[in-house]
Chain A
Amino acid sequence: MLAQQTPGELAEGLTAVGRGIVYGGAAIGPGIGIGIVVGNAITAMARQPESAGMVRTTMFLGIAFTEALALFGFVLSFIIAG
């Protein structure tokens, strides 16, 4: 099997694996982070429903900052060329 592969095949396969690892790795931290942000925002809203508007705005800000890291990984996975 190994003898039959064309020259660029191995590099191509490894690139695909690398892309998967890059995005998968980049998504772990932000996944946990967004969970913490939203969870705490819900706790705050449940405790003080009158402050829900302010908490929601701040929550979206926090999500946006946290999510940026995952999106960097998403873009990087496309940038990695074979």
Chain B
Amino acid sequence: MALIALEFPPVSHLIEWPDLFGTSGPFGLNKVVLLTFLAAILVLAFYLIAGRRRSLVPTGVQNLAESVVEFIQEGVILQTMGPEGLSWTPFLLTLFSFIFVSNIFGIIPFIQMPVNARMALPAFLAIVVWILFNFIGIKSQGLAGYFKSMLFPPGVPKALYILVTPIEFVSTIFVRPLSLAVRLFANLLAGHLLLVSFAVISAALFEATVVGAVLPGGLLIALTGFEVLVAVLQAFIFTILAAVYIGGAMHPEH
């Protein structure tokens, strides 16, 4: 029995791309940067086309766009922020659509690179949300009021504040943006690596035995379907957490 040539490429080969068009350094344009621009343009074009000719009975693109708006309003905002959060629909809708489009690039044939599998974009989005919810908190509760409701949650015995206050500070200021970014990044990276693993195994088995590739190949197709679910779910979770953080900053806990 011949040995199967199974060589797994190092992780950096799977997510790092060379700079294109002779650019380099911090302004280098590689595949990931171009895909980020493409995602922004696609989202913009989608909503511009959907809103161009508004009719009372929606058809086609407008229908799709309206169902996304409705999903954000009823599935995210009303469940977490209440009716007064509806003015946040444009921001959360953009966030959801942009993250979803950047994620779905991971399974589109010949592109197959989720933009969020690099840390830059999730980190940027998490920083935007972090600045936003702190700003909203200070704006609606005042600086002292915001920190008081954040660091000294009511209904806790006085002596426990020695424990609770540092934990609340670290979890609100550091862990929230970190976990927001890492969750999106790690889910997409893990999905990308999973697909690569099964593709490598399928290719090696196909070369060796042909028939042996049926099972991993089938799993590869199933996992591609699973990645669609991950793309939607991660966009949804990022949006809902942003809504929870912003909603929590607007109203102190009672």
Contact = CB atoms under 8 A, between A and B. Distances in A.
A74 B240 contact: no
A75 B183 contact: no
A27 to B, nearest CB: 11
B79 A74 contact: no
A54 B79 contact: yes
Interface size class of A (residues with CB under 8 A): 10 to 19
A60 B240 contact: yes
A68 interface: yes
A72 B76 CA distance: 26
Interface of B: 11, 75-76, 79-80, 179, 182-183, 185-187, 189-190, 233, 236-237, 240-241, 244
A61 B240 contact: yes
A71 B244 contact: no
Given A53-B79, A54-B79, A68-B179, A60 B237 contact: yes
B79 A57 contact: yes
Given A53-B75, A68-B182, A72-B182, 5 more contacts: A53-B79, A65-B179, A68-B179, A68-B183, A71-B183
B237 A74 contact: no
B15 to A, nearest CB: 11
A75 B186 contact: yes
A60 B79 CA distance: 12
Interface in A53-69: 53-54, 57, 60-61, 63-65, 67-68
A74 B244 contact: no
Contact of B186 (A61, A65, A71): A71
Contacts of B237: 60-61, 63-64
Contacts of B241: 61, 64
A57 B78 CA distance: 11
A45 B233 CA distance: 20
A74 B80 contact: no
A71 B79 contact: no
Report the 3 A-B pairs with minimum CB-CB distance, sorted nearest first. A71-B186, A68-B179, A57-B79
Interface string A15-39: 0000000000000000000000000
A12 to B, nearest CB: 13
A59 to B, nearest CB: 11
A75 B240 contact: no
A33 B115 CA distance: 29
A67 B190 CA distance: 13
Contact of A75 (B76, B185, B244): B185
B85 to A, nearest CB: 14
Contact of B182 (A61, A65, A75): A75
Nearest to A68: B179
Given A68-B179, A71-B182, A78-B11, A57 B240 contact: yes
B8 to A, nearest CB: 12
A79 B241 CA distance: 26
A71 B76 CA distance: 24
A78 B189 CA distance: 11
A75 B80 CA distance: 29
